[in-house]
């Protein structure tokens, strides 16, 4: 049983927070970028959907990267 101050547990929590932040930032970046391009070129929802696709791909990349470290 691990103690609350265990270094391994802390490192695991830090990795999870980092992963969550990376996913949230990449989704926001790609979706807002796609929305902005749609407004600029009047092509709503084309670039938004492309942004969601890129965000999903980056999610899979970050997930593979995280689980390869373990």
pTM: 0.74
pLDDT number for residue 70: 64
Q: Residue 60: what pLDDT?
A: 92
pLDDT tens profile 47-67: 999 999 999 998 999 889 878
pLDDT single digits (tens) 19-34:
889 889 999 999 999 9
CB atoms under 10 Å from CB of 43, counted, come to: 13
CA distance 33 to 17: 24
Domain ranges within the chain, ordered by starting residue: 25-69
* Average pLDDT, integer, range 8-15: 77
């Amino acid at each position: 049983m691990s103690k609350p101050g265990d270094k391994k547990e802390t490192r695991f929590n830090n990795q999870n927070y980092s992963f969550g932040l990376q996913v949230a930032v990449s989704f926001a970046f790609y979706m807002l970028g796609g929305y902005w391009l749609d407004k600029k070129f009047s092509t709503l929802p084309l670039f938004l959907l492309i942004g969601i696709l890129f965000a999903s791909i980056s999610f899979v990349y970050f997930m593979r990267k995280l689980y390869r470290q373990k």
